[in-house]
């Protein structure tokens, strides 16, 4: 399935560029880089100066899709592992 703004929360985010535009922790705001991986509650970002572990639920991310579209995503919607988010979505559609 092609990644789109409508289904981004159901996709793997590894490899996509991101920029944190809002956070309850001011140290995370303006962090930019490539998503290296994610756990249930964290996103790991390669900033070019090292790796940062960012809590999902306190941040708002701008994620650049492969086609160049930038999507703003509330990190609270990214809670859980990608495979678990997909299962929840599939179970709701039945």
Task: Give the integer Cα–Cα distance in Å for 40 and 13.
Answer: 13
What's the mean pLDDT in 68-94? Answer: 75
Predicted confidence (pLDDT) at residue 91 exceeds the cutoff of 50? no
What confidence tens digit (pLDDT) does each residue in 24-43 have? 999 999 999 999 999 999 99
32-38/70-74 β-pairing: unpaired
The pLDDT of residue 94: 40
pLDDT one-digit tens code per residue, 66-76: 999 999 999 99
The domain made up of 8-92 has a fold known as SH3 type barrels. (2.30.30)
Q: What is the pTM for the complete model shown?
A: 0.86
Contact 79, 40 (CB under 8 A): yes
């Amino acid at each position: 399935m092609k990644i789109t703004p409508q289904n981004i929360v159901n996709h793997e985010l590894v490899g996509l560029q991101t920029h944190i535009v809002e956070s309850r922790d001011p140290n995370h705001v303006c962090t930019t880089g490539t998503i290296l991986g994610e756990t249930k509650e964290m996103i790991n970002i390669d900033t070019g100066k090292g790796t940062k572990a960012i809590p999902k639920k306190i941040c708002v991310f701008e994620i650049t899709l492969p086609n160049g579209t930038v999507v703003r995503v509330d990190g609270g919607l990214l809670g859980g592992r990608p495979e678990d988010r997909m299962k929840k979505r599939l179970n709701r559609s039945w």
